[in-house]
């Protein structure tokens, strides 16, 4: 083997990653080993006048994204070398594969497996398992480490650089289901527990816990047009396995003995259900999502609880999808067990109208209204204080108009976008309104025989708050061309943005750029780019940046 190959393999070793699932049933002889990817090198020149430079005057970088394929399993790697970093370091090394053959898939190493959002829902697990779908059956199993042990750090390192202490957490999940795509049902059992002896807990502040979640999921299509979806989950969570005593809630004795409960054990439920009517013209769906206070699963990273959502979503489709009218009305509240000091209620309403009467014209209008208020919970609200009182309305309207014309020689596109958002604070009477208005218009024309594209844009945005009104507006343009049968690409662009603060011109931001890419062969290409930015006003400066690069595709 040549020395260069030794160096190349040395660069690949530190960069392990998680590969995707591969179907082994479609492999051929040519899939035994293959290597492909990209390598690139670049030099950047930088200069600024009028302020302190935020980057060096000269910098360089080498990057690589090689992909190795072994028996159909891909291993993507990446590396970066620059004048600021000459060593190959990374905080972790993870490797995992999920090979599949027909209806069987295995999971080995680091994997992100999801059985359901309330059980094992995308948590990274180091272990093994599989998913099997023979006929109408669905069987899944997973076992491994959810968290690795992290001992307490007694060094003098800054707190933000220290890792959070944790016990080793092992978990397992089992899934069994039966049915078709239209009608099916699944039951999932997830179990996780912290290993108390995995670290030395000198502070006695880290609690080793355990968790068992059982979930039932079903999808049913009824009478051709009706659809029913349901997930019902129960989570039994023990905060500290070391404690004794009977749990605060009643459990079936057999279950209590199997999972090991004590005085710190709680039980909570989650339900996610929807029922709808689906047809070519009219759709109507009703959703309910309720998660009890304290509902958690060690198989997910984060889950909002103590919340109830009820939404109604009607939609009408006319003239074969040419006109769509859809709406949504939702109600949300917390404090389900009347345990919070204050209760928050939210109302969300939205309407969407889309029209596409002809091929060259399309319009979309979206309107939403969001209300939030607060009422007394355990503690009454003080009518003389606005600290804990919330009453706000946020309304937003968005309009998009698009005209597109395509011919054999010219292609043209005109787009206009308007967005207006208003937030009103009903508690704060001293000017509690905040408005954002954004308008953008663009015209793009392409001359296809010469592969030339011209784009003209104008943007206008206003941010109106009680203390000030800030406006930005200005034009921008770009011209690009593809020459020599696509081997040479040239582009030039420029923009000028004006800043107006309280009806007074504050300054301008003017920028321009030129870039070119030339493909020497199918494997080799070079590129160059020049960028100039000038800002006038309170802090005036001019910066220039140039870049030269080379790319190799193999």
Q: Over the stretch 413-434, which tens digit does the pLDDT of each residue have? A: 999 999 999 888 766 655 568 8
Overall average pLDDT of the 525-530 stretch: 96
Q: What is the pLDDT of residue 24?
A: 57
Q: Over the stretch 257-268, which tens digit does the pLDDT of each residue have? A: 678 888 999 999
Angle value at C-alpha 366, between 363 and 371, nearest 5 degrees? 175
pLDDT band at residue 325 under the 50/70/90 scheme: very high
pLDDT band at residue 54 under the 50/70/90 scheme: confident
Six token digits for residue 171 = 């978990």
Is residue 30 classed as helix, strand or coil in its secondary structure?
helix
Residue pointed to by tokens 């502070």: 203
Among 44-58, 108-122, 234-248, 529-543, the minimum mean pLDDT is found in 234-248
Q: What is the pLDDT of residue 13?
A: 36
Residue 160, φ and ψ in degrees, nearest 5: -70, -15
Is it the case that residue 46 has pLDDT exceeding 60? yes
% the chain with pLDDT above 90: 55
Q: What is the pLDDT of residue 252?
A: 67
Q: Over the stretch 438-449, which tens digit does the pLDDT of each residue have? A: 999 999 999 999
Per the CB < 8 A criterion, the answer to whether 332 and 307 are in contact is yes
Is it the case that residue 6 has pLDDT exceeding 50? no
Query: In the chain, count of helices (H) and strands (E)?
Result: 2, 30
Is it the case that residue 180 has pLDDT exceeding 70? yes
Task: Name which residue leads in pLDDT, 28 or 241.
Answer: 241
Instruction: Give Cα 334 to chain centroid, integer Å.
Output: 25
Is residue 153 classed as helix, strand or coil in its secondary structure?
coil
Q: Over the stretch 500-527, which tens digit does the pLDDT of each residue have? A: 998 889 999 999 999 999 999 999 999 9
Overall average pLDDT of the 227-242 stretch: 94
Task: Name which residue leads in pLDDT, 141 or 92.
Answer: 141
Overall average pLDDT of the 125-146 stretch: 95
Q: What is the pLDDT of residue 11?
A: 35
pLDDT band at residue 219 under the 50/70/90 scheme: very high
Mean pLDDT, all residues of the chain:
85
Is it the case that residue 45 has pLDDT exceeding 80? yes
| Those residues with Cβ within 8 angstroms of residue 440's Cβ, 6 or more apart along the chain or in another chain | 415, 416, 417, 457, 458, 459, 460
Q: Over the stretch 145-172, which tens digit does the pLDDT of each residue have? A: 999 998 877 554 555 545 778 899 999 9
Q: How many CB atoms lie within 10 A of CB 85?
A: 10
Q: What is the pLDDT of residue 142?
A: 96
Is it the case that residue 237 has pLDDT exceeding 50? yes
Overall average pLDDT of the 306-313 stretch: 94
Residue pointed to by tokens 């998913």: 131
Per the CB < 8 A criterion, the answer to whether 300 and 211 are in contact is no
Is residue 161 classed as helix, strand or coil in its secondary structure?
helix
Q: What is the pLDDT of residue 341?
A: 76
Overall average pLDDT of the 164-186 stretch: 94
pTM over 0.85: no
Q: What is the pLDDT of residue 310?
A: 96
Is it the case that residue 101 has pLDDT exceeding 90? no
Q: 167 burial class (0-12, 13-18, 19+ CB within 10 angstroms)?
A: buried
Task: List C-alpha distances in Å: 266 to 74, 185, 306.
Answer: 44, 27, 14
Task: List C-alpha distances in Å: 294 to 141, 232, 270.
Answer: 27, 16, 10
pLDDT band at residue 100 under the 50/70/90 scheme: confident
Residue pointed to by tokens 């103590």: 306
pLDDT band at residue 474 under the 50/70/90 scheme: very high
Q: What is the pLDDT of residue 92?
A: 41
β pairing state of 361-376 and 342-358: antiparallel
Cα–Cα distance measured from residue 346 to residue 334, given in angstroms and rounded to the nearest whole number: 9
Is it the case that residue 10 has pLDDT exceeding 50? no
Is it the case that residue 53 has pLDDT exceeding 80? yes
Instruction: Give Cα 280 to chain centroid, integer Å.
Output: 31
% the chain with pLDDT above 70: 83
Six token digits for residue 67 = 């992909």
Q: What is the pLDDT of residue 259?
A: 82
Q: How many CB atoms lie within 10 A of CB 298?
A: 25
Among 95-104, 153-162, 292-301, 532-541, the minimum mean pLDDT is found in 153-162
Is it the case that residue 12 has pLDDT exceeding 50? no
């Amino acid at each position: 083997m040549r020395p260069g190959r030794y160096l190349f393999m040395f660069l690949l070793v530190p960069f392990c990653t998680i590969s995707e699932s591969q179907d082994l049933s479609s492999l051929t002889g040519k899939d035994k080993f293959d290597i492909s990817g990209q390598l690139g090198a670049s030099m950047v020149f930088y200069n600024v006048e009028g302020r302190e430079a935020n980057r060096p005057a000269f910098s360089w970088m080498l990057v690589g994204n090689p992909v190795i394929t072994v028996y159909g399993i891909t291993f993507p790697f990446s590396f970066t070398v620059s004048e600021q970093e000459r060593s190959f370091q990374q905080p972790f090394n993870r490797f995992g594969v999920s090979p599949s053959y027909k209806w069987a898939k295995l999971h080995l190493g680091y994997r992100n497996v999801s059985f359901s959002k309330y059980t094992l829902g995308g948590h990274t697990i180091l272990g093994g398992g599989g998913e099997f779908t023979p006929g109408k059956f669905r069987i899944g199993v997973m076992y491994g480490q959810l968290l690795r042990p992290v001992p307490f750090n007694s060094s003098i390192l800054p707190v933000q650089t220290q890792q959070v202490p944790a016990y080793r957490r092992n978990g397992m999940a089992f899934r069994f289901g039966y049915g078709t795509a239209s009608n099916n049902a699944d039951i999932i059992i997830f179990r996780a527990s912290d290993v108390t002896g995995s670290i030395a807990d000198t502070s006695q502040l880290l609690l080793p816990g355990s968790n068992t979640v059982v979930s039932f999921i079903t999808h049913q299509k009824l009478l051709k047009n009706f659809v029913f979806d349901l997930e019902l989950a129960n989570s039994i969570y023990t905060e500290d396995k070391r404690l004794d005593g009977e749990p605060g809630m009643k459990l079936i004795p057999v279950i209590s003995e199997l999972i090991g409960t004590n005085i710190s054990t709680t039980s909570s439920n989650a339900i996610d259900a929807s029922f709808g009517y689906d047809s070519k013209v009219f759709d109507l769906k009703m959703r309910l999502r309720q998660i009890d206070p304290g509902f958690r699963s060690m198989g997910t990273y984060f889950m909002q609880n103590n919340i109830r959502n009820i939404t109604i979503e009607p939609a009408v489709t006319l003239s074969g999808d040419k006109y769509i009218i859809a709406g949504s009305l939702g109600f949300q509240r917390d404090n389900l067990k009347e345990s919070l000091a204050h209760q928050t209620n939210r109302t969300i309403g939205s309407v969407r109208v889309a029209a596409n009467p002809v091929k060259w014209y399309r319009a979309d209008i979206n309107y939403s209204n969001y209300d939030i208020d607060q009422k007394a919970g355990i503690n009454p609200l003080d009518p003389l204080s606005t600290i804990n009182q919330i009453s706000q309305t946020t309304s937003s309207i968005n309009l998009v108009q698009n005209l597109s014309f395509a011919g054999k020689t010219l292609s043209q596109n005109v787009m206009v976008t308007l967005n207006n958002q208003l937030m009103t604070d009903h508690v704060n009477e001293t000017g509690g309104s905040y408005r954002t208005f954004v308008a953008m218009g663009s015209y793009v024309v392409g001359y296809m025989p010469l592969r030339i594209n011209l784009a003209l844009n104008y943007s206008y945005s206003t941010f109106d708050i009680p203390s000030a009104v800030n406006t930005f507006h200005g034009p921008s343009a770009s011209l690009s061309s593809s020459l020599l049968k696509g081997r040479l690409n040239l582009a030039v662009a420029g923009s000028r943005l004006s800043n107006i603060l309280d009806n007074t011109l504050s300054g301008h931001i003017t920028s321009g750029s030129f870039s070119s890419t030339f493909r020497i062969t199918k494997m080799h290409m070079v590129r160059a780019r020049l960028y100039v930015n000038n800002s006038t006003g309170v802090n005036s400066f001019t910066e220039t940046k140039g870049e030269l690069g080379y790319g190799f595709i193999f």
